[in-house]
Structure 1
Amino acid sequence: MRHRAEGEGGQPPERPHGQGPALGRGHRGVAAVATTVLAAAAVVLLVAGFRSSGGPPQPAHRTETVAPATSSAAPSSTPSAPASSSGTAGGSVAPAADFGPVLDRSRPVRLRLPSLGVDVTPLVDLALDSRGQLAAPSRFDQVGWYADGPAPGELGPAVLAGHVDSKAGPAVFFKLGALKRGDAVLVTRADGLVARFVVDEVGRYPKARFPTERVYGTARHRAELRLITCGGAFNHRTGHYLDNIVVYAHLVGST
């Protein structure tokens, strides 16, 4: 995966650009262009091979253009969408009372998605390469954290990413598109706390129109989480999925 970073308040200093992440299939190498932080980003893992019946689960709705969701109960999770954007992503911001206290910074060490049976540890750090893109996890069973962005539970949108599949079969985020609003996401941190997130929505976007600002934009006064992988149709000629799956979640507490 690849990203650029930018910003203050826990946001990476420069913004990645390109298309949305590609995390799947037969790995010809991390050739990437992954959508990430605050402006334009992209993650790409070449894929080519495995095909289960119907492919990985994913949201039925594909959002061609997107604007940030808004709510009078809580501040918007992202800055205003670019002028070219229109429509909505189909979700809404959770009520302010539902957000848990923001935590101090501590690196994530374990990710659990109970409804999908996913339990991954340790998590690997992801960083920008010389082109300002975020490199994807080197293995298909790994989940990576954009270490120059917010940590899960910290103020802002923390970003975790992983592959959807490989030539050999399903990868760590193969079922990510099956998450539903209200599902739990549990992130264990190095400080021993388990940050508890709840899914707000699951979006599916063409990589060329990845909603960077919405995904990586500043989250005011709250801690949020993004989980990213590939989805949509698979292009056998290029070895890439055409879309990205993005899970939006917010912190509700910690134990």
Structure 2
Amino acid sequence: MAARSSLIFLTAAAGMLGTALWQDRPPVVPPIEALTGFQDADAPLMLPADGQPRYRLHGFSAWQLAEIPAATRFESPLGSEHGALTYNAQQFWEMNADRGGHHTGDDLNGIGGRNTDLGDPVFATADGLVAFAGEPSPGWGKTIIVAHRDREGRVLESMYAHLDRIDVSAGGLVARGARIGTVGTANGYYPAHLHFEMRRGDGIDVGSGYGMFPLNRLDPVKTITELAGNAPDDLAPSPLATALK
């Protein structure tokens, strides 16, 4: 009887072990290390603070949302006051067949063209919080994203890409007209220019410079014009600049 009980016990244990060994297990998913196209659309929804291209999206925390200052006025990020001495080499939503989509921002240049504006200062378009400062991919180069609140309280973002240098850090406050970086070439990928975008939303999605759908992208010229807030010849100082002094 004892031998029979032992045999039944061993058989049951072997069955349980076999079930454990042969049951389906979820696959091991390697971490996302780059985002190069639509194939990566299912990447984890985060963006790390070091600016490396491992994840797709980072939603602002409640603390970050509370820190975003109101912007009473928006200005062009390049050139002298009101964007003088600049031109737009590739406007928002122009179709670029070679790149496979519509341009998601404006390509701003100094009037000399080519690399004559390399190293020219880039300015914050409005009072805001630096939400991202890093190099998300070789094609984007050094990139800054600043979060703002318009007069209605909505969160907007300005993006400055292909920079030669970044002069601010993520988490810092910047005033309208403050120098945040310099015009670059994305490490030699393009002739020097500033890829500038305006977006709506409360999170960071670096995304692509070309697409078939605008998603949260806004026309930068139209947006800045609508949010100028004052007459074109009124160069009132930034309230944040005054407070930071």
TM-score by length of 2: 0.30
Q: Give the greater-gyration-radius structure (CA).
A: 2
**Normalized against structure 1, the TM-score is what?**
0.29
Judging by fraction of residues, say which structure has more helix. 2
Between 1 and 2, higher relative CO (CA 8 Å, sep ≥ 6) is seen in 1
